[in-house]
């Protein structure tokens, strides 16, 4: 499941549970390639939120995002991990498995 996040829904969508959030920009080629990998999660139980850092700079600033794409893993709204750069689906799943207990 992929959810578009912005200033209007970020807090509500990320406040409970384990949430993977990708920060991207529309001009980033790595982000465009990352989107292809994320499409494999579209009909899965993995929750992924996506934030356009140009459209929601306040959220990107809050998490000190410096490059794109950047994934932030949240647990009950608190940042517990960060993964910078392009990741294949298998790499993302392996990283997530480290935090699922």
| Catalytic residue from among 5, 20, 21, 31 | 31
| 18 in active site | no
- Residue 86 CA to residue 68 CA, distance in Å, equals 8
Confirm whether 40 is a catalytic residue: no
Catalytic residue among 5, 20, 21, 28: 28
Would you say 59 and 87 are in contact if contact means Cβ atoms under 8 Å apart? no
From the list 25, 29, 16, the residue with the least C-alpha distance to 74 is 16
Known catalytic residues are 28, 31
């Amino acid at each position: 499941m992929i959810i578009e996040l912005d200033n209007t829904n970020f807090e509500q969508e990320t406040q409970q549970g384990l949430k993977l959030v990708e920060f991207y920009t529309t001009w980033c080629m790595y982000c465009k390639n990352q989107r292809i990998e994320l499409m494999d999660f579209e009909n899965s139980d993995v929750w992924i939120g996506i934030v356009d850092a140009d459209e929601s700079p306040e959220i990107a600033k809050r998490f000190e995002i410096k490059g794109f794409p950047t994934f932030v893993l949240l647990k009950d709204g608190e940042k517990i991990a960060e993964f910078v750069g392009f990741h294949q689906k298998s790499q993302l799943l392996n990283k997530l498995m480290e935090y699922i207990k």
